[in-house]
Amino acid sequence: MSEARIDRLQPKHLSLIRSISELGQLSLAAQALALTQPAASRMLSEIERDVGSPIFTRTPKGMEPTAVGSALARRAQNVLQEMREAAREIEAIRRGLTGKVRVGAVTGGAVGYVVPAIQQLKGEAETADLYVDVASSGELIRDLLSGQYDFVLGRIPSGVDARQFNLEGGMMEEVELVVHQSHPLVNVDLLTVADMAHFPWVMQAPGAPLRQAVESVFVEQGAPIPSNIVNTTSLLVMIAMLAASNAIAPMSREVSDLLCRQTAAAGLYSLKLETPIVVMPYHLITVAGKRLSPIAARLRDLLLGEFSARGKLRGV
């Protein structure tokens, strides 16, 4: 038996070994790698000569790896994966898609847009350090101005000079009223706010945009604003209150989708309303004149792409 020369194996050889092992046919492996069958056969002969041992045996069912072939196929998979990851990392460095990005967002924006954009970015730049905070627009804008964030998804609070910011996109936030599945209103259609006024509520503090939108509907319909309210910005507290009582919690549609439809085990339900509740739009906000790093700019572009895909409000 000749001496094995594993060091002569190239990525194309490893790809052929892996493909034959997975597909069981030389012809199929050649087709998958865009090779002619004679070229693939010659390459396999070269591999077996360098390895010094048969890699596959031909059977009526196709080509089966020998013990040596199984070991090489397993290693080939790992090596090729490492090479793909190395190529992605090198490309990320070349394009500037490395480093740290810190963003802040209102809850609905974080769930509905930041998370999908981050998933896309991680596909391009696995080693990027990404930080996401969820807070009220007042806190987000304060920390954006202090340099803690690259950009935020939020609203310009009253009394803050909007000229110091760049605003892009604009997503209208829809509100859903969430309850536990045991709530007495679960099976009632076309609910009005008057139907819900006497129940306990758990929502953001007075002045928060989402709460203002809910209270505006009560005022418009001439119904009394609920008096039994627990004020909190914590989503966990809201969920706990819903589980323990007949409370009603207003949430953005993105959060409601996550809790009521994507996470059925939570036992939460979105009420059927007669009148939609809509909050003023939030935007992607950067400090005017501030230059974003390449990776922060890429995340911003992905977010704007998410906005467009889901119905961006133009001209805001």
Cα separation, 264 vs 226, in Å, equals 28
Q: Where are the domains of the chain?
A: 6-94, 100-170+281-309, 173-279
Residue pLDDT, tens place only, 103-120: 999 999 999 999 999 999
Residue pLDDT, tens place only, 234-265: 999 999 999 999 999 999 999 999 999 887 76
- Domain at 173-279, CATH from 3.30.1490.190, 3.40.50.300, 3.40.190.10, 3.40.190.290: 3.40.190.290
Residues in the chain: 316
- For all residues of the chain together, what is the average pLDDT? 88
Give me the pLDDT at residue 2, please.
47
Write down the CATH number for the domain with range 6-94.
Answer: 1.10.10.10
Furthest C-alpha separation in the chain: 93
Give me the pLDDT at residue 96, please.
66
Q: How confident is the model at residue 89 (pLDDT cuts 50, 70, 90)?
A: low
